[in-house]
């Protein structure tokens, strides 16, 4: 086990810290995206064919996906679930708009994107995600309890981020990952299958991220941890790992011989 102080140069795996996006991903190039949007009581289903970004909104009190109203129309306030069914093309599904005040029933996202290099950004509700084959990226919000997440086959990236002070603990199996996130509001669990690259982004407050119990055999081949502002304690596993403590008095601990570490503080 090694501990690293501010500005110490550590030779290890190549790579840079990747931040969780706060806006919808840019649409990929390819066949034009077409949507069919239907509703049944409080549930909406969006069938997607072709490549592009799928986003949701409340327009004149009615649910829309890419400005297309559901058939029959449904009031935003009554929507409890939004299901997206993709094809083998690359779809980007942007869920955070379902968290806006107009959706008073707090709908969750059920994304089944199939094959293709898909990108899915979840909501603050417990989502259901099946990203299918190929290279997928899934962005989830901590400490939401997402217990039905499968990134599928291929080399996939899981991104977890939080905007409040959080203690994160991750435990791996050969193909599954269990993540426990604890905040002042309580504890929530994530259960995820099919992750190769794991990225965790902390808040501007004091965070603790412990990945020491990610052990072989595991599907995870790369870790990136960004503490953000605040006094953070970051612990990496025996897997190639990049750590960035950001500002604050940080403690960076590694169980890997292949690690790169950064910190903006001189008080670590």
> Does 185 share its domain with 262?
yes
Q: What is the band of 254 on the pLDDT scale with cuts at 50, 70, 90?
A: confident
The two structure tokens encoding residue 114: 């199939």
Q: Taking all residues of the chain, what is their mean pLDDT, rounded to a whole number?
A: 88
Average pLDDT over residues 10-23: 41
Range of the domain at 204: 1-28+146-268
**Coil, helix or strand at residue 62:** strand
Report whether pLDDT(4) > 70: no
Average pLDDT over residues 64-79: 98
Q: What is the pLDDT of residue 266?
A: 61
Q: What is the pLDDT of residue 16?
A: 39
Report whether pLDDT(7) > 90: no
> Does 96 share its domain with 62?
yes
The two structure tokens encoding residue 62: 């009615």
Distance between CA atoms of residues 160 and 153, nearest Å:
19
> Does 98 share its domain with 112?
yes
The verdict on residue 124 lying in a domain is: no
> Does 110 share its domain with 203?
no
Final residue before a domain boundary, out of 116, 135, 162? 116
Final residue before a domain boundary, out of 116, 135, 164? 116
% pLDDT > 70, the chain: 87
Number of domains in the chain: 2
The verdict on residue 250 lying in a domain is: yes
> Does 177 share its domain with 220?
yes
- Asked whether 80 and 74 are in contact (CB, 8 A), the reply is no
> Does 161 share its domain with 237?
yes
The verdict on residue 223 lying in a domain is: yes
Q: What is the band of 30 on the pLDDT scale with cuts at 50, 70, 90?
A: low
* 95-99, 152-156, 177-181, 260-264: segment of lowest average pLDDT: 260-264
User: Per-residue pLDDT tens for 221-253?
Assistant: 999 999 999 999 999 988 899 999 999 999 999
Pairing relationship of beta strands 176-183 and 186-193 according to DSSP bridges: antiparallel
> Does 154 share its domain with 94?
no
- Radius of gyration of the CA atoms of the chain, in A: 19
User: Per-residue pLDDT tens for 118-149?
Assistant: 999 999 999 999 999 999 999 999 999 999 99
| Maximum CA extent, the chain | 61
Q: Please classify residue 32 by burial: count the beta carbons closer than 10 Å to its beta carbon, then call 0-12 exposed, 13-18 middle and 19+ buried.
A: exposed
* 25-29, 86-90, 179-183, 186-190: segment of lowest average pLDDT: 25-29
Asked, as a colleague might, if the bond just before 217 is cis with ω within 30 of 0, I would say: yes
The verdict on residue 137 lying in a domain is: no
> Does 234 share its domain with 189?
yes
Alpha carbon 74 to its chain centroid, in Å, reads 28
> Does 171 share its domain with 233?
yes
> Does 89 share its domain with 151?
no
The verdict on residue 130 lying in a domain is: no
Average pLDDT over residues 18-33: 55
The two structure tokens encoding residue 61: 């009190």
- Any long-range contacts for 172-179 (C-beta under 8 Å, 24+ apart)? 172/213, 172/214, 172/215, 172/218, 172/219, 172/220, 172/237, 173/218, 174/217, 174/218, 174/219, 175/219, 177/214, 177/219, 177/220, 179/142
User: Per-residue pLDDT tens for 202-223?
Assistant: 999 999 999 998 987 889 999 9
Average pLDDT over residues 150-170: 95
Report whether pLDDT(157) > 80: yes
The verdict on residue 131 lying in a domain is: no
The verdict on residue 133 lying in a domain is: no
Pick the residue with more confidence: 213 or 70?
70
% pLDDT > 90, the chain: 75
Half-sphere exposure of 198 (CA within 13 A, CB side): 31
- Name the E strands within 22-154: 34-40, 43-49, 52-59, 62-65, 68-69, 81-85, 91-94, 108-112, 119-121, 128-130, 137-141, 148-150
> Does 91 share its domain with 156?
no
Q: What is the pLDDT of residue 8?
A: 38
> Does 182 share its domain with 251?
yes
Pairing relationship of beta strands 34-40 and 43-49 according to DSSP bridges: antiparallel
The verdict on residue 249 lying in a domain is: yes
Provide DSSP, 216-267.
Answer: SS-S--EEEEE--SS--EEEE-SS-EEEE--SSS-EEEE--SSEEEE-S-S-
């Amino acid at each position: 086990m090694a501990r690293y102080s501010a500005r110490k140069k550590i030779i290890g795996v190549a790579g840079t810290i990747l931040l969780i996006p706060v806006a919808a991903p840019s649409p990929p190039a390819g066949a034009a995206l077409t949507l069919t949007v239907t509703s049944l009581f409080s549930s909406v289903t969006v069938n997607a064919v072709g490549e592009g970004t799928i986003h949701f909104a409340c327009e004149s009190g009615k649910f829309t996906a890419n400005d297309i109203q559901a058939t029959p129309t449904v009031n935003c306030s009554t929507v409890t679930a939004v299901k997206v069914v993709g094809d083998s093309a690359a779809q980007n599904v942007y869920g955070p708009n379902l968290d806006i005040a107009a959706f008073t029933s707090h709908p969750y996202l059920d994304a089944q994107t199939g094959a293709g290099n898909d990108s899915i950004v979840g909501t603050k509700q417990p989502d259901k995600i099946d990203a299918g084959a190929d290279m997928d990226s899934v962005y989830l919000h901590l400490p939401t309890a997402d217990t039905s997440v499968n990134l599928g086959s291929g080399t996939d990236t899981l991104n977890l981020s939080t905007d409040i002070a959080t203690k994160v603990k991750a435990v791996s199996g050969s193909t599954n990952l269990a993540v426990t996130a604890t905040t002042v509001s309580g504890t929530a669990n994530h259960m995820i299958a099919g992750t190769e690259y794991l990225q965790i982004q902390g808040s501007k407050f004091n965070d603790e991220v412990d990945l020491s119990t990610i052990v072989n055999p595991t599907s995870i081949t790369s870790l990136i941890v960004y503490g953000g502002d605040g006094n953070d304690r970051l612990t990496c596993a025996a897997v190639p790992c990049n750590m960035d403590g950001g500002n604050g008095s940080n403690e960076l601990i590694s169980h890997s011989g292949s690690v790169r570490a950064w910190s903006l503080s001189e008080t670590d």
